Structure 1
Amino acid sequence: MKIISCVLFMLTCLSQIGVIAQNTITLSGKITDQHGTPLSLVTIAVENTTSGTYTDDNGRYSLKVSPGKCTLVVSLIGYQTVKSTSNIQQNKTLNFTLEESAVTLNSVEVYGKTQTQKVKEGVFSVNALDIKPIVNSLNNLNDLVNRTTGIKVREEGGVGSDFDLSINGLSGNSIRYFLDGMPLDTKGSGVSLANLPVNIIDRIEIYKGVVPASLGTDALGGAINIITKQEKKNYLDVSYGIGSFHTHKADLNAQFVEPKTGLIIRPTVGVNYSKNDYRMKDVQMRDESGDNFIYGNPKRFHDDYFSLLGQIEVGVANKSWADAFFVSASYSKTDKELQTGAVQTKVYGMAERNSDAWNISAHYQKRNFILKNMQLNTALSHTWDHSLTVDTTYRKYYWDGGYIDGQRNEIMGKERSMRHYKRPLTVVRANLDYKLNNHHNFNLNYHLSRTGNDRYDDLDTTFEPSNDVVSKHILGFSYNQSLLEGKMENVFFIKDYINHPNIRQTDQPSVTGSEAVQGSTTKNYLGYGVGLRYTVAEALAVKVSYEHSVRLPIARELLGNGTNIYANVALKPENSDNFNAGLFGTWHPGTGHTFYYEASGFFRKVDNYIQSEVAEKEGTMKYTNVPAVHIKGVEGEVRYDWQGKLQLASNVSYQDARDQQKYKNGGKPSATYDNRVPNRPWLFGSAEAYYTFRNVALPESKLRLGCTYQWIHWYYLLWEAYGATEGKARIPAQHICNADITYSWKRGRYNIALECTNFLDKTAYDNYKLQKPGRAFFAKFRLFIN
């Protein structure tokens, strides 16, 4: 700790030598068309520099420049470019009016960058996804995230099914999820990427391996931060979709601003329902007599899913005492029939899992807090989360829908059970950011998470109730440098992880380890890292990053989930050394043509790696530690845009995860040493193409056609060292094609989208060879009024 602090102090002192803070002034204003309508995404740039920005949805911009004479270039495709030269010595307001151009612009130079592009070009390895251009056709975030470089989302079935998301080979609970910097779990354990309303989202940031200290998390493999819309105007955004397998989806997001008091009210509602009655392909079932087994294509018969998320947020913005202060209350509910266990051969017909959660939270943000250029961002949240697993039937079901009576329940193979899990969650987050000058910035972050685990059973008298608690404190400090007129950016950070579990459960000690781990313990672990980025030119930049990260086991891993996951209270925290290195750049070969590329490599050295172990016979699983796993890989992405009309993109990812345990606990050599970790895709890629036609049939309309393709190389289901080569179970290669068409008119007020997923109707497998739906159709209508 002392050594790292000294290093940071020395770097701070050295960086000051030869670096003189430059005074800057602010230009701001509004850009409209000839009719006074605000224009968004207009580029405002200082000629012959890389300094620039875009207008927001209200046509407003803010740009920092050096004092003196400068020429502003204001441009937007379809409008005549404006150049204005001024000698500016103090903050100034400059408004512009753009005239429509009757011909295509001969030259449009894009200097400014969107927030999404700025994040991608930062020091960390990160995917940044802009939701606005595709919100009309997007049904859930999993579909979008699954097409990005280095990411694989593996769903266990249809709508509402459990899924496993991996980033650069690390998956499951190694990945943390955030909503505006707060853990997504605060909305309830039933809320995920799959059912979060897409209408509320502005962009998604996916950090790979190295996670900023400002997020205040103990993620090992990466983190996903979902940024919601922060509009400053009244609007109503509502959508409804209907699709195959009796699927329905409805979202509402709105904002109302009371002009006299400035009170802001934001209601949000998201509803999802599906019967998920798609056909299984080539599964074992009984014939009509019930006496013989055959292979057929039956429909799923017990997989209904319903989810609801409702939230109301009330607050104010831009006040003297607060830049933003909001309080919110939310309720989420999930009802899910369970069709299979952890493996497809385990069929359920009556078991179900229900959950509901209430949340209250408050968020406060203030610039110039105590000191000028110091910003405070703090939040407090408490969630009452309750889940119930009903497993009361003594039956064994088959894929034909029939069953035979038995003497054990479906999931756990024991007594009838109505298992309750109450997991109250309290989260406190405080972030203090201080900008010393244009070259040096400091950030201090504190995160507290406390999860309870009150478990009991209404029917199973053999079950021993308990009330466990898992708490963690995470402190993070980072120092940011911006040198050489922004060409070089450096970040140095340090994290302290404090783990404080209080284990009280004692049942099934041979399985859960509860006999060896009891009572309250406190341990702390140290993490640290660095990120560097240097821009040679717009077409070439390099960046490297490293983090020694620690991930503390979460409640699901330590304490089970009440259905098919056993507790393992003896789990140890994971730790990993994560390295990233990459090249990226943007190239403009001609008018209207833009290429973006990125290529990177990574290495993960993981100790005490937490992975799931599946018992195929029982269809259950639990999480265990693997002594060591090494993951290395490379990935690349290329994107092309022509005048905002044609977009092409392609990416490929190679991830090689190997078991590094040479000897078992008894000292015998391990047969799986240096084997690739099974049941995990290691080579995959995707491609997409979109074209937009304007003013089709109606004025101010857009017609967008799109097609996406995803490919996954085959991989082994179990360790490759086990069994003969010809008899090994493996998940075959997959080729999935999707197509969509979106039509918008009245400047995006009315929107309709039609989508066909897996239109070739290929058999799609995923986590542990669980089948996903075949060909499916979905139609969505969206109304946006502002």
Structure 2
Amino acid sequence: MKIITGLLFTIICLLSAGSMAQNKVTLSGKVTDQHGTPVAQATIAVENTTSGTYTDDQGKYSLQVAPGKHTFVVSFLGYQTVKQSLDIRQNKKQNFTLQESAVTLNSVEVYGKTQTQKVKEGAFAVNALDIKPIVNSLNNLNDLVNRTTGIKVREEGGVGSDFDLSINGMSGNSIRYFLDGIPLDTKGSGVSLANLPVNIIDRIEIYKGVVPASLGTDALGGAINIITKQEKKNYLDVSYGIGSFHTHKADLNAQFVEPRTGLIIKPTFGVNYSKNDYMMRDVEVWDEDSRKYILTDRRRFHDDYFSLFGQMEIGFANKSWADAFFVSGSYSKVDKELQTGSVQSKVYGMAERGSDAWNISARYQKHNFIWKNMQLNAALSHTWDHSLTTDTAYRKYDWNGDYIVSSRNEITGRGRSMRHYKRPLTIGRANLDYRLDNHHSFNLNYLLSRIGNDRYDEVETDFEASNDILAKHVVGFSYNQSLLEEKMSNTFFVKNYINHLNIRQTDLSSITGSKDVKGSITKKYWGYGIGSRYTAIEPLSIKISYEHSVRLPLARELLGNGTTIYANVALKPESSDNINLGIFGTWHPAPGHTLYYEANGFLRYVDDYIQATVETKEGMLQYENVPAVHIKGIEGEVRYDWQSKLQLATNVSFQEARDQNRYKTDGKPSATYNNRVPNRPWLFGSTEASYLFHNVVLPESKLRLGCSYQWVHWFFLTWEAYGSRESKARIPAQHICNADITYSWKRGRYNISLECSNLLDKLAYDNYKLQKPGRAFFAKFRLFIN
């Protein structure tokens, strides 16, 4: 890997050395209509180029161009396009006025770049998803992310079930989640992509394999950064949805700006509930007539889910002393009845899990901090997170809902238990970004994460209470270049990981290894990487990136979760060498037609790969290290847009993860050497289409019809080397069709959507061959007052 790293570094340096920095000037100003009202989201672009920008909520814009004469095109739907030639030799202010047009524009010939598009065209392998166009019909982020290239979300059941998300073959805890650059864990362990209110989100950035040092994380397989709305205006956004299996969902997001002081108040609220009483097919039950077990269909009977999230954020923006300063407090709560373990043949009827978390945090942002062109982003957060698993019934249930009295509890097969886990979490982040000029910038990021593990049991007297500590410091430094008139961009970075553990638990030492790993341990690890993007011609760009990354085990991997996961305190950190190589481009074959494509290949060489294994008898999970796993794959995506009305997209992903451990610990050959890692989809794809109609029935209305199809090739549930091929457990191929319809009127103030998931009612399995719901409907009403 050092040879590959050196070669990539040499190529990029040679290309960079041959380029000369080009000075640029800035054109800035304001766009208003004929009445002087600011026009937000208007496009200002340089004609016959892809250089452009959008106005903010005050109609202001800023655009950097090379010195010289340019023709600028200013446009916005419903207004007449303005073209103006300017000879710019130095920074210049220029305002534009747009006149309302009686005729709706059929197409816009100038194509500016949204923030989402800019992220996708950076040096890293990244998916960027814009939420705004689909927020009316979107129910949770898992549904959207699962349709993107190289990503697979595998849920263990219905609403609120645990899920496993993989990026390019790396999954589970190898992926880190962020909310505006801050770990999502700060909102509580119960908050996830599945229940975070979608109304607060602007876009999602999904980094594959190589993660920017500015995020300050120890992710191995990638990271998901959720960017929330940062508009500086008053609005109220509320929605309510109802669906199959007694599902209800309500979200509220609002912002109020006090005009005299500029005080901003942002309340957020989200609630989800579902009984998840969908039909389980071909489950085993006892038949009294035949006196034997038979396969039949039964409804889930103990799977209620409830989640609540509330947050209040108060602060200021655009002040002389701060670009943004906010303090916030939040509360989250999750109550979940447990229906099965990690295998659906083990049925629970009374076991429950609940969690609640309080959080206080503050964030500060300032341009020209200490020096000109230096920006500081800082945040401090503390979370009180508490979970309780109740398992006090000495019963053994079946899918009829019947039970027999047992001498053991439901989950672990031991004594009655009410297991408490208190995991206080402290997060501190400081990010300094310094722009030397238009072509060179530096970034320094520091992240502190400290989590406790105070565990005790109020029923099981033999349980040994303990208070473990996991703390990590991640420091990242990066240098960024923009060369050849922005045709080439490079990023070089290095990361330092400091991991501190204080393990105090000793119970179940034969399973958890707690007696062998006890006390205080501190270790350091290094990571580094590079990324480069070069645009040969506008429809063809090439990007390559490499990272040697380290991922430190999470609390749930080391210490379990008190319900379905055993601790393994002997887990070692994962390390990986990740390589991405891709091509992409945007082509405009004719006015109103846009074609975007991308194709990527990737390699992952992972040591001490952390993998969840299931103990079939008890249905319990435990994480363990696999000495070496190699992952390789290729993926591609094509998107077509016609006049922002017709949109088509398709993608396919192939990813192969194989065990590279030739010998077992006793020196004997390993039967699983070069086997595909089990319980991992390796070939899948999706296709989606939508069409937007304007002024249907009512003026200023929109009707959107959409459909999607997702396919997953079958894969083995366990190692393919064990047992005969015919008798091995498989997760069968998945074929899922979804359809939705959305109607909006009064310029998006009122919105109604109806979605049907699994339209053909196909039998769908997922993680560990746990059944997912069949055909389901969901209706949603959204009110947006701007």
Same fold (TM over 0.5): yes
Could you say which residue in structure 1 is the equivalent of 2:151? 151
In 2, distance between residues paired with 1:627 and 1:68? 59
Could you say which residue in structure 2 is the equivalent of 1:392? 392
In 1, distance between residues paired with 2:634 and 2:21? 39
Give the Å deviation of 1:422.
0.2
Give the Å deviation of 1:293.
1.9
Could you say which residue in structure 2 is the equivalent of 1:431? 431
Could you say which residue in structure 2 is the equivalent of 1:223? 223
Give the Å deviation of 1:320.
0.7
Could you say which residue in structure 2 is the equivalent of 1:94? 95
Give the Å deviation of 1:591.
1.3
Could you say which residue in structure 1 is the equivalent of 2:657? 657
Could you say which residue in structure 1 is the equivalent of 2:479? 479
Q: 1:166 to 1:698 in 2, by over 3 A?
A: same
Partner of 2:565, secondary structure, is coil
Could you say which residue in structure 1 is the equivalent of 2:691? 691
Contact 1:28 1:63 (C-alpha < 8 Å) held by counterparts: no
Aligned letter for 2:705? Answer: L
In 1, distance between residues paired with 2:472 and 2:509? 25
User: For 1:174-222, what per-residue CA distance to the aligned partner results, in whole angstroms no more than 9, with x for missing partners?
Assistant: 0000000000000000000000000000000000000000000000000
In 1, distance between residues paired with 2:110 and 2:272? 40
In 2, distance between residues paired with 1:269 and 1:691? 31
In 1, distance between residues paired with 2:484 and 2:66? 15
Could you say which residue in structure 2 is the equivalent of 1:310? 310
In 2, distance between residues paired with 1:289 and 1:278? 26
Give the Å deviation of 1:662.
0.5
Q: 1:14 to 1:374 in 2, by over 3 A?
A: farther
In 1, distance between residues paired with 2:766 and 2:467? 35
Q: 1:20 to 1:542 in 2, by over 3 A?
A: closer
Give the Å deviation of 1:40.
4.3
Q: 1:470 to 1:103 in 2, by over 3 A?
A: closer
Partner of 1:280, secondary structure, is strand
Could you say which residue in structure 2 is the equivalent of 1:572? 572
Contact 2:47 2:110 (C-alpha < 8 Å) held by counterparts: no
Q: Does 1:319 align with 2:326?
A: no
Could you say which residue in structure 2 is the equivalent of 1:22? 23
User: For 1:645-700, what per-residue CA distance to the aligned partner results, in whole angstroms no more than 9, with x for missing partners?
Assistant: 00000000000000001000001111010001111110000000000000000010
In 1, distance between residues paired with 2:9 and 2:344? 52
User: For 1:453-491, what per-residue CA distance to the aligned partner results, in whole angstroms no more than 9, with x for missing partners?
Assistant: 000000111110000000000000000000000000000
Give 5+ residue unaligned stretches, structure 1.
none
Aligned letter for 1:215? Answer: L
The 5 Å alignment of 1:35-114 reads 38-77=38-77, 79-88=79-88, 89-100=90-101, 102=103, 105=106, 108-114=108-114
Give the Å deviation of 1:296.
1.1
Q: Does 1:548 align with 2:532?
A: no
In 2, distance between residues paired with 1:641 and 1:777? 28
Q: 1:231 to 1:560 in 2, by over 3 A?
A: same
In 2, distance between residues paired with 1:417 and 1:290? 37
Q: 1:101 to 1:123 in 2, by over 3 A?
A: farther
User: For 1:313-353, what per-residue CA distance to the aligned partner results, in whole angstroms no more than 9, with x for missing partners?
Assistant: 00000111111000000000000000000111110000000
Could you say which residue in structure 2 is the equivalent of 1:232? 232
Q: 1:587 to 1:506 in 2, by over 3 A?
A: same
Could you say which residue in structure 2 is the equivalent of 1:768? 768
Aligned letter for 1:102? Answer: V
Partner of 1:725, secondary structure, is coil
The 5 Å alignment of 1:689-728 reads 689-728=689-728
In 1, distance between residues paired with 2:105 and 2:271? 44
Could you say which residue in structure 2 is the equivalent of 1:286? 286
Contact 2:480 2:489 (C-alpha < 8 Å) held by counterparts: yes
Could you say which residue in structure 1 is the equivalent of 2:355? 355
User: For 1:368-405, what per-residue CA distance to the aligned partner results, in whole angstroms no more than 9, with x for missing partners?
Assistant: 01110000000000000000000000000001110111
Aligned letter for 1:99? Answer: E
In 2, distance between residues paired with 1:66 and 1:16? 20
The 5 Å alignment of 1:336-415 reads 336-415=336-415
Q: 1:724 to 1:11 in 2, by over 3 A?
A: closer
Give the Å deviation of 1:101.
5.5
Could you say which residue in structure 2 is the equivalent of 1:123? 123
CA RMSD between the two structures: 2.0
The 5 Å alignment of 1:453-468 reads 453-468=453-468
Give 5+ residue unaligned stretches, structure 2.
none
Q: Does 1:331 align with 2:351?
A: no
In 2, distance between residues paired with 1:664 and 1:473? 34
Q: 1:92 to 1:151 in 2, by over 3 A?
A: same
User: For 1:41-83, what per-residue CA distance to the aligned partner results, in whole angstroms no more than 9, with x for missing partners?
Assistant: 4321122443211234554432223444332112345543211
Contact 2:387 2:422 (C-alpha < 8 Å) held by counterparts: yes
Aligned letter for 1:30? Answer: V
In 2, distance between residues paired with 1:449 and 1:334? 23
Aligned letter for 1:96? Answer: T
Report which stretch shifted further, 153-162 or 69-78.
Answer: 69-78
Could you say which residue in structure 2 is the equivalent of 1:619? 619
Give the Å deviation of 1:288.
5.9
Q: Percent identity?
A: 76
Contact 1:391 1:409 (C-alpha < 8 Å) held by counterparts: yes
Contact 1:53 1:111 (C-alpha < 8 Å) held by counterparts: no
Q: 1:692 to 1:649 in 2, by over 3 A?
A: same
Report which stretch shifted further, 684-693 or 291-300.
Answer: 291-300
Aligned letter for 2:327? Answer: V
Could you say which residue in structure 1 is the equivalent of 2:582? 582
Give the Å deviation of 1:30.
1.9
Partner of 1:133, secondary structure, is helix
Contact 2:73 2:110 (C-alpha < 8 Å) held by counterparts: no
In 2, distance between residues paired with 1:52 and 1:423? 47
Contact 1:715 1:730 (C-alpha < 8 Å) held by counterparts: yes
In 2, distance between residues paired with 1:12 and 1:678? 41
Aligned letter for 1:177? Answer: Y
Q: Does 1:750 align with 2:737?
A: no
In 2, distance between residues paired with 1:8 and 1:730? 43
User: For 1:725-783, what per-residue CA distance to the aligned partner results, in whole angstroms no more than 9, with x for missing partners?
Assistant: 11111011110000000000000000000000001000010000000000000000000
Partner of 1:469, secondary structure, is strand
In 2, distance between residues paired with 1:428 and 1:528? 22
Partner of 2:680, secondary structure, is coil
Partner of 2:281, secondary structure, is coil
Aligned letter for 1:147? Answer: R
Contact 2:199 2:237 (C-alpha < 8 Å) held by counterparts: yes
User: For 1:564-617, what per-residue CA distance to the aligned partner results, in whole angstroms no more than 9, with x for missing partners?
Assistant: 101000000000000000000001111100000000100000000000110011
In 1, distance between residues paired with 2:425 and 2:223? 19
Q: 1:280 to 1:11 in 2, by over 3 A?
A: closer
In 1, distance between residues paired with 2:57 and 2:710? 34
User: For 1:283-317, what per-residue CA distance to the aligned partner results, in whole angstroms no more than 9, with x for missing partners?
Assistant: 11123669532211111000000000000000000
Give the Å deviation of 1:15.
5.4
The 5 Å alignment of 1:581-600 reads 581-600=581-600
Give the Å deviation of 1:110.
2.8
Q: 1:54 to 1:128 in 2, by over 3 A?
A: same
> How many residues are matched?
782
Give the Å deviation of 1:87.
3.5
Could you say which residue in structure 2 is the equivalent of 1:252? 252
Contact 1:433 1:441 (C-alpha < 8 Å) held by counterparts: yes
Partner of 1:298, secondary structure, is strand
Could you say which residue in structure 1 is the equivalent of 2:138? 138
